[in-house]
Amino acid sequence: MPIIDIVISGSAKMTSVFNPTLFKGKLALISGGATGICYEIAKQFLIHGASVYIISRKIENINKAVKSLAEETGNKTFGEA
Protein backbone atom coordinates (compact mmCIF):
# COMPACT_ATOMS: atom_id res chain seq x y z
CA MET A 1 0.00 0.00 0.00
CA PRO A 2 1.43 3.42 -0.90
CA ILE A 3 2.09 5.99 1.80
CA ILE A 4 -0.07 8.56 0.01
CA ASP A 5 -3.18 7.68 -1.98
CA ILE A 6 -3.86 10.35 -4.60
CA VAL A 7 -7.56 10.93 -5.09
CA ILE A 8 -8.94 12.06 -8.46
CA SER A 9 -10.04 15.39 -6.96
CA GLY A 10 -6.38 16.17 -6.28
CA SER A 11 -6.47 15.83 -2.50
CA ALA A 12 -4.17 13.38 -0.73
CA LYS A 13 -5.06 10.88 1.99
CA MET A 14 -2.25 9.91 4.36
CA THR A 15 -1.97 6.32 5.52
CA SER A 16 0.32 5.12 8.28
CA VAL A 17 3.45 3.17 7.47
CA PHE A 18 3.54 1.83 11.04
CA ASN A 19 1.98 -1.34 12.40
CA PRO A 20 -1.31 -0.45 14.18
CA THR A 21 -0.19 -2.47 17.22
CA LEU A 22 3.30 -0.97 17.37
CA PHE A 23 2.81 0.32 20.94
CA LYS A 24 0.29 -2.26 22.20
CA GLY A 25 0.82 -2.87 25.92
CA LYS A 26 2.91 0.29 26.31
CA LEU A 27 2.13 3.43 28.32
CA ALA A 28 2.96 6.84 26.83
CA LEU A 29 3.33 9.77 29.25
CA ILE A 30 2.74 13.03 27.36
CA SER A 31 3.53 16.37 29.00
CA GLY A 32 1.38 19.14 27.53
CA GLY A 33 -0.67 16.58 25.61
CA ALA A 34 -3.99 18.36 26.01
CA THR A 35 -3.41 20.76 23.10
CA GLY A 36 -1.38 21.40 19.96
CA ILE A 37 1.37 19.18 18.66
CA CYS A 38 1.51 17.09 21.84
CA TYR A 39 -2.22 16.36 21.48
CA GLU A 40 -1.56 14.99 17.99
CA ILE A 41 1.36 12.93 19.33
CA ALA A 42 -0.94 11.49 22.01
CA LYS A 43 -3.48 10.64 19.31
CA GLN A 44 -0.86 8.79 17.24
CA PHE A 45 0.26 6.77 20.27
CA LEU A 46 -3.39 5.81 20.86
CA ILE A 47 -3.94 4.91 17.21
CA HIS A 48 -0.92 2.61 17.40
CA GLY A 49 -2.09 0.76 20.52
CA ALA A 50 -0.55 2.58 23.50
CA SER A 51 -2.38 3.68 26.61
CA VAL A 52 -1.83 7.42 27.03
CA TYR A 53 -1.49 9.51 30.19
CA ILE A 54 -1.65 13.28 29.59
CA ILE A 55 -0.17 15.82 31.99
CA SER A 56 -1.12 19.48 31.64
CA ARG A 57 -1.58 22.60 33.76
CA LYS A 58 -5.29 23.13 33.03
CA ILE A 59 -7.79 20.46 34.04
CA GLU A 60 -10.36 21.90 31.60
CA ASN A 61 -8.02 21.23 28.67
CA ILE A 62 -7.28 17.73 29.94
CA ASN A 63 -10.95 16.81 30.31
CA LYS A 64 -11.68 18.08 26.79
CA ALA A 65 -8.67 16.24 25.32
CA VAL A 66 -9.41 12.95 27.11
CA LYS A 67 -13.00 12.97 25.84
CA SER A 68 -11.99 13.97 22.32
CA LEU A 69 -9.19 11.39 22.07
CA ALA A 70 -11.46 8.62 23.31
CA GLU A 71 -14.08 9.54 20.70
CA GLU A 72 -11.53 9.83 17.88
CA THR A 73 -9.55 6.67 18.60
CA GLY A 74 -11.80 4.46 20.72
CA ASN A 75 -8.92 3.98 23.18
CA LYS A 76 -8.74 4.94 26.83
CA THR A 77 -6.80 8.06 27.82
CA PHE A 78 -5.96 9.36 31.29
CA GLY A 79 -5.22 12.90 32.42
CA GLU A 80 -3.71 14.76 35.38
CA ALA A 81 -3.34 18.47 36.15
CA-to-CA distance for 6 and 22, rounded, in angstroms? 26
Percent of the chain exceeding pLDDT 70 equals 80
User: One-letter amino acid identity for 59?
Assistant: I
**C-alpha neighbours within 13 Å on the C-beta side of residue 58:** 6
33 or 12: which carries more pLDDT confidence? 33
pLDDT digits over 25-57, tens only? 999 999 998 999 999 999 999 999 999 999 999
Statement: 19-80 belongs to CATH 3.40.228.10: no
Q: Mean pLDDT, the chain, as a whole number? A: 82
- CB–CB of 16/49 below 8 Å? no
Beta bridge partners of 29: 53
Domains of the chain by residue range: 19-80
pTM of the complete model: 0.74
- CB–CB of 20/49 below 8 Å? yes
Q: How far apart are the first and last CA of the chain?
A: 41
